[in-house]
């Protein structure tokens, strides 16, 4: 009998959503995750670039579960004479979802140097009239307004804001009484919460390495140092709703194919059997514009079987939303997958 705790899952998720972690800037997430994994009896190590690995002490795992801890973000590329900042995205996300976002600007020590809002260049209809509607939705047509009094270049420098300063996007999390979680960065902190919920319920990771990568949104998720001895990878990530898609809103979406091609049939069929055997709601889907952690390892020539299981969400890389039932189903799949022997 599963003892998965939805309250614990949601508590972990809401805490993580408040932690800034754009790609390659995951130190705070690693610091939050490490003691929770160690409390489950796991030995935790880190790669040079900042990925987190966890496994049973002395184990020689042949399988891995990967979830990425990095999120989308932005970086300051220009200090404008107007006091506004030009930014470019970290990861692949459309500027239309940046319009109106509340953000934090970080100094070189990763502390918060200022708060602000991403706005279109023509942000006021009282000034620009119909030109507001005519401007393109593109990063070149956005700028960052800071909640600072002195926004001269010299003043910004004194406050720790320079070209190259990190910009993290606030999650603006909202839980509803109908079971929905609305937030930016559900991709992929929701999947991490599912892993933590499975561990809390007593799932054993013997024979499995947990990999939390810090650069998936850059398309360089996993590489050889993270997968020494690994033959099969269960990628956990987001499934996106849209025209022509077949995702499962209240269960698990099993990817049969992504932009790199088919996921490995042996690993994928095993997931489908587990869902059927344990009554886990699921559907199959194919993702036309999608790249997961394991794809980067495959492109690097590693000899792996990749499978991809996802929680079902709306508006991926934008104003994301998922239902707790989908997260609980994915947690259950993680539980039963960990309980199986190497296939």
What's residue 341's pLDDT? Answer: 66
| Cα-Cα end-to-end distance for the chain | 23
pLDDT score at 221: 85
Determine the Cα–Cα distance for residues 51 and 256; give it in Å rounded to an integer.
27
**Residue whose tokens read 């020590």:** 109
Q: Residue 131: what pLDDT?
A: 79
Question: What is the pLDDT, as a whole number, of residue 1?
Answer: 62
Q: What residue spans define the domains of the chain? A: 6-71+185-339, 73-169
Binding-site positions for Zn(2+) read: 68, 187, 217, 237
Residue of 234, 235, 248 whose CA lies nearest to 329: 248
User: Does domain 73-169 correspond to CATH entry 3.40.1160.10?
Assistant: no
Please give the pLDDT value at position 126: 83
- At residue 185, the pLDDT reads 97
Indicate the SS3 state at residue 316.
coil
User: Residue 343: its pLDDT value, please?
Assistant: 43
The pairing of strands 305-314 and 321-323 is: antiparallel
Output the tens digit of pLDDT for each of the chain's 343 residues: 679 999 999 999 999 999 999 999 999 999 999 999 999 999 999 999 999 999 999 999 999 999 999 999 999 999 999 999 999 999 999 999 999 999 999 999 999 999 999 999 998 878 878 878 889 999 999 999 999 999 999 999 999 999 999 999 999 999 999 999 999 999 999 999 999 999 999 999 999 999 999 999 999 988 888 999 999 999 999 998 889 999 999 999 999 999 999 999 999 999 999 999 999 999 999 999 998 998 888 888 889 999 999 999 999 999 999 999 999 999 999 999 999 965 4
Binding residues: 68, 187, 217, 237
Instruction: Report d(CA 49, CA 42) in Å as an integer.
Output: 21
Select which of 216, 232, 320, 335 is catalytic.
216
Q: Active site includes 243? A: no
How many residues can be counted in the chain?
343
In whole angstroms, what is the distance from residue 232 CA to residue 208 CA?
9
Contact 313, 251 (CB under 8 A): no
CATH superfamily of 6-71+185-339: Zn peptidases (3.40.630.10)
Which residues, at least 6 apart from 189, have a Cβ–Cβ distance to it below 8 Å?
A: 13, 16, 17, 69, 71
């Amino acid at each position: 009998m599963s003892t998965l705790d939805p309250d614990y899952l949601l508590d972990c998720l809401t805490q993580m959503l408040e932690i800034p972690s754009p790609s390659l800037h995951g130190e705070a997430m690693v610091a939050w995750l490490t003691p929770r994994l160690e409390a489950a009896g796991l030995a935790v190590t880190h790669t040079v670039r900042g990925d987190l690995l966890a496994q049973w002490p002395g184990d020689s795992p042949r399988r891995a579960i990967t979830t990425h801890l990095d999120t989308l973000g932005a970086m300051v590329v220009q200090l404008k004479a107007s006091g506004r900042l030009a930014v470019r995205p970290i990861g692949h996300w459309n500027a239309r979802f940046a319009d109106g976002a509340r953000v934090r600007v970080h100094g070189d020590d990763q502390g918060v140097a200022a708060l602000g809002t991403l706005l279109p260049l023509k942000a006021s209809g009282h000034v620009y009239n119909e030109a507001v509607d005519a401007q393109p939705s593109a990063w070149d047509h956005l700028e960052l307004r800071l909640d600072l009094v002195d926004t001269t270049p010299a003043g910004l420098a004194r406050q720790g804001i320079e070209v190259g300063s990190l910009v993290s996007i606030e999650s603006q999390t909202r839980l509803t009484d109908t079971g929905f979680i609305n937030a930016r960065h559900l991709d992929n902190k929701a999947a991490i919460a599912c892993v933590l919920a499975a561990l809390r319920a007593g799932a054993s990771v013997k024979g499995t390495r947990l990999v939390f990568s810090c650069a998936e949104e850059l398309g360089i998720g996993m590489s050889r140092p993270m997968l020494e001895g690994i033959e099969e990878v269960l990628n956990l990530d987001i499934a996106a709703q849209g025209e022509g898609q077949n995702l499962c809103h209240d269960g698990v979406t099993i990817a049969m194919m992504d932009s790199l091609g088919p996921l490995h049939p042996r690993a994928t069929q095993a997931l489908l059997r587990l869902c059927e055997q344990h009554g886990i709601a699921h559907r199959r889907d194919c993702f036309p514009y999608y790249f997961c952690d394991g794809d980067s390892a495959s492109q690097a020539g590693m000899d792996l079987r990749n499978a991809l299981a996802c929680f079902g969400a709306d508006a991926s890389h934008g104003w994301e939303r998922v239902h707790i039932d989908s997260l609980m189903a994915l947690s259950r799949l993680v539980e039963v997958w960990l309980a199986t022997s190497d296939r």
